[in-house]
């Protein structure tokens, strides 16, 4: 995983993150944000894997009521299915340009590998060249276009796909596991 800047941590999302995630969802996707019910369904789904980037207390004053979640991402794949879908990725505007989208995306791809997935699909807005470039750099290729997919804007979606190479398991030798399990068995 890429290095995170000081003051941020990546962790598995929990249902209690819904309000912060929805605040960022509406800020990031003002015209086509998911509903709270849709997002809650994703966060509670046994097939989903959602992570958040959150600010951690650095001793600096914080704005009361400001969300601590500054990024989130989600993957969906049924157990035993060799295919997964990237559902969403968002980073707060003031945190963009720091590689945090790539951190989130890399974590989703790592989870796909842990699940034994061989192929990952996603949709990306045709008018989002920054995200398209990130996905292409990760080996994704455009395979189709969904006309007017993003509503109400009527923006096309590029459907992209990548084959995911499986990596040998290294968690036993490093003691590092999936997000949320890093410290299991390592407390004194």
Catalytic positions are: 123, 135
In the chain the beta strands, taken as DSSP E runs, fall at: 8-12, 48-55, 69-76, 83-91, 119-125, 141-150, 155-163
Q: Please list the residues that pair with 150 across neighbouring strands.
A: 155
Q: Which long-range contacts (CB under 8 A, 24 or more apart) does 92-98 make?
A: 92/24, 92/27, 92/28, 93/27, 93/28, 94/70, 95/53, 95/70, 95/71, 98/5
């Amino acid at each position: 995983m890429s290095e995170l800047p000081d003051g941020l941590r990546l962790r598995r999302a929990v249902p209690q993150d819904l309000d912060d995630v929805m605040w960022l969802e509406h800020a990031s996707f003002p015209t086509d944000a998911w509903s709270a019910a849709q997002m809650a369904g994703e966060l509670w789904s046994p097939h989903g894997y959602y992570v958040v980037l959150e600010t951690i207390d650095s001793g600096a004053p914080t704005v009361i009521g400001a969300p601590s979640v500054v990024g989130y991402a989600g993957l969906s794949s049924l157990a035993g299915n060799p295919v997964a879908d990237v559902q969403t990725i968002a980073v707060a505007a003031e945190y963009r340009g720091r590689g945090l989208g790539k951190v989130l995306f890399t974590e989703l791809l790592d989870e796909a590998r842990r699940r034994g997935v061989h192929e990952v699909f996603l949709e990306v807005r045709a008018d989002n060249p920054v995200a398209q470039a990130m996905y292409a750099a990760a080996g994704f290729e455009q395979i189709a276009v969904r006309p007017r997919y993003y509503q109400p804007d009527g923006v096309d979606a590029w459907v992209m796909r990548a084959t995911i190479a499986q990596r040998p398991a290294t968690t036993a030798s490093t003691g590092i596991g999936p997000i949320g399990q890093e410290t299991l068995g390592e407390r004194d």
